[in-house]
């Protein structure tokens, strides 16, 4: 079956309004007594452009909406072991722990302001502005969240007023994982943290490493690594192995122009110990009755970015390509017998996103008008196989041959354009905006 699904999406941003409760800097200077006339000096205003870049406390205070930034210092102070621990501390964000039927250190379940949290389907989740989903339009769920805490400099959570600039899953706000930047001088560090479980003595190690710097001609680079290796508190099938590697480069062409690139590789495998019935839990809460269930994933992505900033105007172009694989193995009952099903899936995404922002001043009012466009193309190949039925304990199920019973190939082409205007007037900031998306999807299903 071949299906083509065109779709239109028009988003009118509910106007974001913020009353900045900070005292304004003094706007007047008093001349000597002989000349009592006053000279008024307006506050310095510069173009912001992409406000997800370089998150800091000032951006939180000036953002017209609910926003929380957790920097690396706060992450270290709280003793967080993974991104879920960080997000649990953000107001309005609900993080659902996995129930044993998903890779606990691979998937991510986040809901914002009461929206469903299973596999984070209602929020746009990014890493350095690049979507983490294997297919942002076709498969937005984060059954694989290819990021690790050790490589992050900050976690930026925008719970509103961002739906115009970022999409498509923008009802639940935007979460941007910001990786460690390239330092201006040479820097290097390495660390290992360990989780040790009292029952059984199982442990997980979390190694991290970083090295980077910038030379005198503006050429810089950094190598980042973060991983998770070991076993959880369950007695069996609770293993995890994650390797997250990133290579970043940047070159400052001039005082106003910069070119940057990043290569990212993520690979993960985790056993899924599964849930227990009340009787099984009462007998042994640490046991696992699902010896073969597992989840694995792999992602390679490359991004290239050019940025121009001269205080009154900012222009940037971001392009990226992602190649993702995710697969699962599940043992499913059929009466008194069982069978193994496997679901290997491959995804490819290419996108280009130019943005332009211009600052205008009219007396005491400043307007920053931003326009942006995104072209995104994604392709998917999904397969499902299963073994013959078997009696538990009679065979080693992973060695059984599996036959294909379902396959599908599809893709999505999306064009999105937005415009918004950040109006600053005294203590007030108002941001009206409009976003338009045209989406065309196709899928070919083959069921046997």
pLDDT, residue 415, reads 96
pLDDT, residue 430, reads 84
Query: Is 399 within 8 Å of 413 (Cβ atoms)?
Result: no
Q: pTM (2 decimals)?
A: 0.85
pLDDT, residue 13, reads 46
Query: What are the tokens at 406?
Result: 């379902």
The fold of the 57-276+285-445 domain, in CATH, is Maltoporin; Chain A (2.40.170)
pLDDT, residue 29, reads 40
Residue ranges of domains in the chain:
57-276+285-445
Sequential pLDDT tens for the chain (448 residues): 444 444 554 544 444 444 443 333 333 344 444 445 444 444 555 555 565 766 666 666 666 667 888 889 888 888 888 888 898 888 888 887 765 544 457 888 888 877 777 777 778 889 999 999 999 998 888 889 999 999 999 999 887 656 678 878 777 788 899 999 999 999 999 999 988 988 878 899 999 999 999 999 999 999 999 999 999 888 888 899 999 999 999 999 999 999 999 999 999 999 989 888 999 999 999 999 989 999 999 999 999 999 999 888 999 999 999 999 999 999 999 888 999 999 999 999 999 999 999 998 888 898 889 999 999 999 999 999 999 999 988 888 888 999 999 999 999 999 999 998 888 888 888 888 898 999 999 999 876 5
Phi-psi category of 120—alpha, beta or left, where left has phi over 0 and alpha has psi -120 to 50? left
Please list the residues that pair with 253 across neighbouring strands: none
Separation in Å, CA 127 to CA 80, 132, 133, 156, 262: 19, 6, 10, 10, 11
Query: Is 275 within 8 Å of 288 (Cβ atoms)?
Result: no
pLDDT, residue 92, reads 83
Q: Could you give the maximum distance between any two Cα atoms of the chain, in Å?
A: 103
Neighbours of 433 (CB within 10 A): 21
């Amino acid at each position: 079956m071949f299906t083509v699904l065109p779709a239109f999406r028009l988003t009118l941003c509910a106007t974001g309004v913020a009353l900045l409760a900070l005292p304004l800097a003094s706007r007047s200077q008093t001349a000597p007594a002989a000349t009592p006339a006053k000279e008024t000096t307006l506050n310095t205003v510069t173009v912001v452009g992409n406000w997800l870049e370089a998150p800091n406390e000032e951006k939180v205070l000036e953002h017209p909406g609910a926003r929380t930034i957790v920097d690396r210092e706060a992450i270290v102070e709280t003793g967080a072991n993974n991104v879920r621990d960080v997000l649990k501390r953000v107001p309005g964000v609900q993080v659902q722990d996995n129930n044993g039927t998903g890779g606990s250190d691979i998937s991510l379940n986040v809901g914002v302001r009461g929206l469903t949290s299973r596999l984070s389907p209602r929020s746009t989740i990014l890493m350095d502005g690049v979507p983490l989903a294997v297919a942002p339009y076709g498969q937005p769920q984060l059954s694989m969240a290819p990021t690790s805490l050790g490589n992050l400099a900050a976690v930026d959570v925008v719970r509103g007023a961002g739906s115009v600039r970022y999409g498509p899953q923008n009802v639940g706000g935007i979460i941007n994982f910001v990786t460690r930047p390239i330092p201006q001088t040479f820097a290097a560090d390495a660390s290992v943290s360990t989780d040790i479980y009292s029952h059984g003595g199982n442990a997980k190690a979390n190694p991290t490493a970083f090295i980077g710097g910038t030379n005198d001609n503006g050429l810089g680079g950094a190598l980042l690594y973060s991983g998770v290796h070991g076993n959880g508190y369950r007695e069996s099938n609770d293993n995890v192995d994650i390797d997250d590697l990133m290579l970043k480069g940047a070159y400052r062409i001039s005082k106003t122009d910069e070119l940057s690139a990043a290569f990212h590789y993520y690979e993960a495998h985790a056993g899924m110990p599964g849930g227990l019935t009340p009787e099984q839990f009462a007998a042994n809460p640490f046991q696992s009755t699902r010896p073969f269930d597992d989840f694995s994933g792999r992602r390679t992505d490359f991004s290239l970015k050019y940025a121009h900033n001269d205080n009154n105007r900012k222009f940037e172009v971001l392009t990226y390509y992602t190649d993702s694989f995710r697969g699962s193995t599940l043992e499913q009952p059929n009466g008194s017998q069982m069978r193994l099903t496997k679901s290997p899936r491959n995804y490819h995404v290419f996108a280009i996103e130019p943005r332009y922002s211009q600052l205008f001043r009219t007396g005491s009012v400043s307007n920053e008008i931003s326009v942006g466009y995104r072209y995104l193309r994604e392709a998917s190949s999904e397969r499902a196989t299963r073994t013959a039925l078997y009696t538990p304990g009679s065979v080693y199920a992973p060695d059984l041959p599996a036959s294909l019973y379902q396959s599908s190939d599809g893709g999505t082409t999306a064009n999105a354009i937005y415009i918004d205007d950040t109006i600053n007037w005294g203590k007030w900031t108002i941001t009206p905006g409009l976003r338009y998306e045209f989406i065309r999807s196709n899928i070919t299903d083959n069921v046997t």
